[in-house]
Structures are given as C-alpha cells and as structure tokens.
Amino acid sequence: MAASTTRGGASRHGGGPYADAAAEFLALAGELVDPAGGRVALVLPQSLLASRDAATIRSSIGGRARMVWSWWSDRRVFDAQVHVCVVAFEFGEPEPEDRRANWSHVATSRQGVPAVPDELRVAGCLGDRARLNANFRDEYYGMAPAVRDHETGPRLITSGLIDPARSWWGLRPITFAKHRYERPRVDLDRLDEDMVRWARRRLVPKVLVANQTRIVEAVCDPGGEWLPAVPVLGVYPTGAHWDDERRVPADQLVSTAWEIAAVLTSSVASAWLWHRGAGTGLSVDSIRLSPVTLGELPWPGGDLRRAVAALRDGDVRGCSVAVAAAYGIDDATALDRWWTPLLERIETRQPSTP
C-alpha cells in the first residue's frame, strides 16, 4: 500500500508531500459528488483536520460545502493504526471562511478546548519578533558523538527536560542517541566545523519549546548556555543570529526572550495553538508544534512587564493571567479552567528539587 499510494511530491489533487494518502480520497470525492446538494462522508485520520499539507484540500472542500456532521474518538477504532474521525459535508453552500482551511473544531469541541476570543489586542505575531527553528537528522547525527556527561560544555536540552518555565536538566535523566545520560553536555571540540557553527549560532538568549505536548511547555535560556536536542524548537529573538546586518544590544535580546517565554506560557497561547493543530499529535491529547505554527501566534498588544515578572519569579499561573490581560481579555475564566488542570498534571510529575 505504501508503494502504491506514495506521491513523492505534491499531489495532483492539491495535497502536499506529507499529507496522508486519505487526502487523495477526500479530494476525489469532492470532484465526483453532485456540486448542488450532494453529500460526502468519510472516515479520515485525525491528522487531516489541521495538517499543513492537507490545507489546500480542506480549503477546496470548505469553499464548496458545509460540514453538517462530524464524529471524533479518543480511541483507535476500525483496526486502524491511527486515530480517526468522520466528517460529513453537503455541497452547494460554503463553510464560513474561518473554518474552510482548518477543521480542528471537530476535535477541540469534544476535547473541551475553549474558544479564544475573536477580538484580541494584538501587535503582529511571534514570527515578527523572532526566528523559529527545529533541528533534524543532520543535527541529530552531527551532535551525537559530542554528547556525554561532560563536566563542561553547553547543556543539552531535550523535550523531556522542558516543563512550563522550567528545565529539569541534571534532575531528570534522558536518553539521547540510544544512550542514557544524567547531566548531558555537548563537547564543542568534538563537533565538525559545520556543527560548531550551528552550535555557536544557538548559544544566544532564546526560548526552547517541547515539540509535542498537551499545553505549551517553554523555558527561557537568557544566558544562551543551552543547546536544543532534536526535535526541540528554538525561538531566537530577532538579531540574536542569522541577522548580521542588525545589531541588537544583549540586554534587549534577553528582555525579548523573557517576553516570548511569558507569552508561550499562557492559557491563550495553548488554546490558540490547539485550534490550529488539533489532531496533528501522536496522541489525541497532544498537539505537534512547528516553527511555522508558533510563528503565526498573535503577539499581545498590551504591556507584558507583569507577565515577565511573574514568570521570572516562577509564578506560572500569574504569568498566564497577565498575558491574557495583555491580549485585552477581560474574562479568561474558561481558558484558565481548561488550562490550569493540565498544568497541575505536569507539575505532579516533576522530580523533587534538592
């Protein structure tokens, strides 16, 4: 089946190279059905609800039909190896424009993820203030020979070491490249020239984000002393690197890094990202974050000083409340009622601090 359904590139029906093959059937059904009153119902992988490579097909269907029914389950059914959903459309009248390219509401409505207010006070998006990056196979294999429980060198931070506003490096062991480490560091002298350049460009003030979680788990590295393991996402304030033409004072980079960490450590950010990425995670209760999606996160237009102060004091809940206020949200009760229990669940798994 893999050989007969692989596309090796963009689909002739509009799906990207990483779209599930089921997207082909969805697109074809939309071409075959009666455009005036015809109905289509399909069992689909949940990833098709929000995956980027299926967006063109979703938009095409949504521009010609309304979703009249849907079903979602948190269990694997039909002997499928993936979590599935069912969507049903009636053709002849389009979906509202804001629902054409993203069908995450099929999952979020049943998961209890609250809506983010439509009228937020915003000033651009996160991508206007930072470069976002995820490492891949080359960085993984290039870094592996240099990682050990060294006495010196930059700390290696994996997704498993990141909790909201906290790194558990040295307190929680990790497995990297099939080896277990207690206090992993990267020996820069054991990296080749390309990897040394890669490391130097990342040893700057930044925010590291776990790539797949129930709520956003981000931690600030104001001293630029850590290196991200694969597949940790790095958020680097503009001017920290890759921007040689623009010189930014170090204290400004640190300040921006703390602001980014504060915004990501909020109920608003987590809910917004859920509504953009439901169904994309390996499990039904997680979302897969990407540099593109994070970069599109609206940036609050209000003052973030209270949020940053709370975050630096370790007050994660106070940070979230202050970020909501910076977005101009007068009542964030629904968001907090959803987000706080998930935060508490993360806090219960934390190791005891010596």
Give the domain ranges of the chain: 2-111, 122-348
CA-based nearest residue to 20, from 64, 50, 41, 40: 50
For 14, half-sphere exposure in the C-beta direction (CA atoms, 13 angstrom radius) is: 17
Residues 193-215, mean pLDDT to the nearest whole number: 95
**Residue 149 in contact with residue 185, Cβ under 8 Å?**
yes
Tell me, what's the pLDDT at 201?
92
Average pLDDT score over the chain: 91
Distance (Å, whole) CA 106 – CA 87: 8
| pLDDT value at 177 more than 90 | yes
Tell me, what's the pLDDT at 354?
41
Q: Is 303 strand, coil or helix?
A: coil
Q: Which residue has the higher pLDDT, 220 or 52?
A: 220
Q: Which residues neighbour 69 within 8 Å (Cβ) at sequence distance 6 or greater? A: 41, 86, 87, 88
The architecture CATH gives domain 2-111: 3-Layer(aba) Sandwich (3.40)
| pLDDT value at 7 more than 70 | no
Tell me, what's the pLDDT at 18?
64
Q: What's the pTM value of the predicted model, to 2 decimals?
A: 0.90
Instruction: Tell me the β-bridge partners of 228.
Output: 157
| pLDDT value at 189 more than 70 | yes
Tell me, what's the pLDDT at 21?
82
Confidence grade of residue 353 (pLDDT, cut at 50, 70, 90): very low
The CATH code of the domain at 122-348 is: 3.90.220.10
What are the pLDDT digits (tens) for 308-337? 999 999 999 999 999 999 999 999 999 999
Tell me, what's the pLDDT at 98?
86
What are the pLDDT digits (tens) for 219-249? 999 999 999 999 999 999 998 765 544 678 8
The least confident of 30-34, 169-173, 190-194, 282-286 is 282-286
Confidence grade of residue 284 (pLDDT, cut at 50, 70, 90): confident
Distance (Å, whole) CA 7 – CA 82: 20
Q: Which residues neighbour 226 within 8 Å (Cβ) at sequence distance 6 or greater? A: 154, 155, 156, 157, 167, 169, 203, 208
Q: Which residues neighbour 164 within 8 Å (Cβ) at sequence distance 6 or greater? A: 215, 216, 217, 218, 219, 265, 316, 343, 346
Confidence grade of residue 11 (pLDDT, cut at 50, 70, 90): low
Peptide bond into 249 cis (omega under 30): no
| pLDDT value at 188 more than 60 | yes
Q: Which residue has the higher pLDDT, 155 or 280?
A: 155
Tell me, what's the pLDDT at 279?
78
| pLDDT value at 196 more than 50 | yes
Q: Which residue has the higher pLDDT, 218 or 239?
A: 218
| pLDDT value at 1 more than 60 | no
Residues 12-17, mean pLDDT to the nearest whole number: 70
Tell me, what's the pLDDT at 242?
55
Residues 254-261, mean pLDDT to the nearest whole number: 97
Backbone phi, then psi, for 306, in 5-degree steps? -65, -40
Distance (Å, whole) CA 137 – CA 243: 25
Tell me, what's the pLDDT at 53?
85
Q: Is 37 strand, coil or helix?
A: coil
Helical (H) or strand (E) element with 60: helix 55-62
**Exposed/middle/buried for residue 342 (C-beta within 10 Å: 0-12, 13-18, 19+):** middle
